[in-house]
Amino acid sequence: MKENKKYVINTKILPFFEDLPINQIDSLKIRKWQNWLLKQETSQGKKLSQTYIKTINNQISAILNYAVKFYNLPSNPIHKTGSIGKKHADTMQFWTLDEFNQFIEAVSDKPTSKIIFNLLFWTGIRSGELLALNGKDFDKVNLTLNVNKSYARLNRRDIISEPKTPKSKRVISLSESLFEDLDEYINKIYDYDPEARLFPVDKFYLQNEMKRGSKNADVKKIRTHDLRHSHASLLVEMGCSPILIQERLGHEEIETTVRTYSHLYPNKQQDMAKQMNDLKIKSKVSPAQ
C-alpha cells in the first residue's frame, strides 16, 4: 500500500504543485488541480475512474490535514473546494453461474486463464490478492487459502505489499474440485517453485482475457472486479449471512458488506417472511391433531 500511495503522490499530485510551498496551496490552486486531475488519462488513454479520482483527492486532503496539525497550515483548502470523485462505482454488475460457466469454457484454452478466473469467481478474492499468491498459500489438507498479501505493478516493477486492510488478511475455505483444478495447473508448470508467484501475469492480462472470453462466450462484458460481486451474489443466493460474506471477502466493516449487497436481499426477505408464516401456522396445530 505504501508503494501505491507513493505512486499517487509522484504522478498525480507533485507534477501539478511542483515546488510550491505547502502554505501557499489555497482553495483556488486546489480547484485548478482538481480540474487538471479530471482531464488526466490512464496509460491506455482512458479517463481516470471516479473511484480512483476520489482516492487521489483523499490522499492530498490527508497531506493537508497533516500540515494543519503539525505545520501550522491555517486550514485545509479542500474543505472549501469540496471533494471530487465517487466513493463507490456507479454500477455493479455480476454474472450468474450459467454466464460464468459460458465464460470459463471460452477461456479454457489457456490454462492460466482457466484457473485464475475459477479462483476469482469461486473465492471472491481481489485480483491483486490473487496475483500475489504462491503455492504455499494453499493448504491442500485443510482445503483453505491464506490471503495475506497483494500484488501491483508500478513503474515496471512487481510490488508485493500488505493487503488492502487488516481484515483483508484471512483464511478462506475452498472446494475439493477447485483444488483439483489447481493441481492440474501446477502439474503443467515447468520447474515449479512453491514460493514464487503462481500466476506471473498482470491486471492488463486479466482485462484482456475478460474481453476475449466475454466476446467468445456471448455474455455481457463486466470488469474483473465484478467477479468479486458475482461471488457475493452467489453467496447471497445460497442463503449466507452478511457476516459470513464480510469475513470471506475481507471487508473491514460489516456496514460495507450490507451497503454494497443489500439490494441482492429483497427475495430473501420474502422467503424469511414465508418461513415465519409456515412456522406460525404449524405452532397453532396441537400435537394431538
Q: Which of 106, 94, 116, 111 is nearest to 216 (CA)?
A: 106
Tell which CATH architecture fits domain 97-264: Orthogonal Bundle (1.10)
Considering only CA atoms, which of 30, 125, 12 is closest in space to residue 75? 30
Mean pLDDT of 193-210: 95
Parallel, antiparallel, or unpaired: how do β-strands 150-154 and 144-147 relate? unpaired
Pairwise pLDDT comparison (1 vs 208), residue with the higher score: 208
Least confident of 17-31, 252-266, 270-284: 270-284
| pTM summary value | 0.72
Q: What per-residue confidence (pLDDT) applies to 82?
A: 86
Q: What is the pLDDT of residues 157-168, one digit of tens each?
A: 888 988 878 889
Residue-wise pLDDT tens digits, 111-155 = 999 999 999 999 999 999 999 999 999 999 999 999 999 998 887
Mean per-residue pLDDT over the chain, rounded: 88
Question: What are the tens digits of pLDDT across the range 19-43?
Answer: 888 888 988 999 999 999 988 887 7
Q: Please answer whether residues 194 and 139 qualify as being in contact, where contact means their C-beta atoms are separated by less than 8 angstroms.
A: no
Question: What per-residue confidence (pLDDT) applies to 265?
Answer: 66
Q: Where on the phi/psi map is residue 218: left (φ > 0), alpha (ψ -120 to 50), or beta? A: left
**Number of continuous H segments (helices) and E segments (strands) in the chain:** 14, 5
Tens of pLDDT along 36-94? 998 888 776 778 888 888 889 999 999 999 999 988 889 999 988 888 887 766 667 88
Question: What is the pLDDT at residue 245?
Answer: 92
pLDDT on residue 270: 66
Closest CA to 117 of 207, 44, 215: 207
Strands 157-161 and 170-173: unpaired
% residues pLDDT > 70 (the chain): 91
